[in-house]
Amino acid sequence: MPGQRAAGLASGRRFWAALLACAAMVLAWPVVVLAHEDSGMPDPGATLSSDAEKPLSAQRSAIDLLSSDEDEEGEEEAEVLPSETGLASWYGPGFHKRRTASGERFDMHAMTAAHRTLPFGTMVCVRSQITGRGVVVRINDRGPHAANRVVDLSRGAAIALGLHGLGLKPVDVFPLSTGEDTCPPKRPD
């Protein structure tokens, strides 16, 4: 019995020591915050702005600035290069009317798509590398969840692109600037 009583007292002392340490930290917090505000140091709770948090138009303008040099031939229109190239797939019947990652209901007949990183609401052109046909879709979901694909199209977009029967098709993906609603001209081969 004496050993059990000693163990109980030791755990009780640890409890009170931990509680006292927590109380000291809580009471010291306003002093630390006030001293930090006066020091001119950045707020440790503030998040740093990364490039991914910038609006798509700001991201594209930085890219455009780097690649907007005119060719020696004096071409007026710069060639628009795809931001991604890879396989597109489509999804529809099993997900129709269910919630997407953006919170809206999925409409398999709408011109929408799922992308891993582009912000919701971004308009993109998806162009088939085989036929050259392109469709403009709005990103409203996250995916595709297969490693070898770059975009998942709704059934309606897949039909418009000519992908519906095939299942997979190599495509180029072009994010569009605000106000754009057409795909850039096809590159000559």
DSSP track, 112-146: EEE-SSSPTT-EEEEEETTT--EEEEEEEE----S
Q: What integer is the mean pLDDT of 55-80?
A: 46
- What's the pLDDT score for residue 34? 42
- What's the pLDDT score for residue 51? 46
Burial status of residue 89 (CB atoms within 10 A of its CB: 0-12, 13-18, 19 or more) = buried
Q: What integer is the mean pLDDT of 145-160?
A: 92
Q: What integer is the mean pLDDT of 58-68?
A: 43
Burial status of residue 25 (CB atoms within 10 A of its CB: 0-12, 13-18, 19 or more) = exposed
What values do phi and psi take at 154, rounded to 5?
-70, 165
- What's the pLDDT score for residue 165? 80
Burial status of residue 87 (CB atoms within 10 A of its CB: 0-12, 13-18, 19 or more) = middle
According to DSSP, the residues that pair with 87 across neighbouring strands are 149, 170
Mean pLDDT of the chain: 74
Q: What's the DSSP call for residue 55?
A: -
* Element at 148 (helix H, strand E): none
d(CA 166, CA 56): 31
Predicted TM-score (pTM) of this structure? 0.58
Where does the pLDDT of residue 81 fall: very low under 50, low under 70, confident under 90, or very high at 90 and above?
confident
Instruction: Residue 17: count other Cβ atoms within 10 Å of its Cβ.
Output: 10
Residue type at 113? A
Instruction: Residue 129: count other Cβ atoms within 10 Å of its Cβ.
Output: 14
Contacts of 110 (CB under 8 A, 6+ apart): 154, 156, 157
Name the more confident of 15 and 60.
15
Where does the pLDDT of residue 85 fall: very low under 50, low under 70, confident under 90, or very high at 90 and above?
very high
pLDDT digits (tens, 9 = 90+) for 165-185: 877 899 999 999 988 989 988
- What's the pLDDT score for residue 106? 94
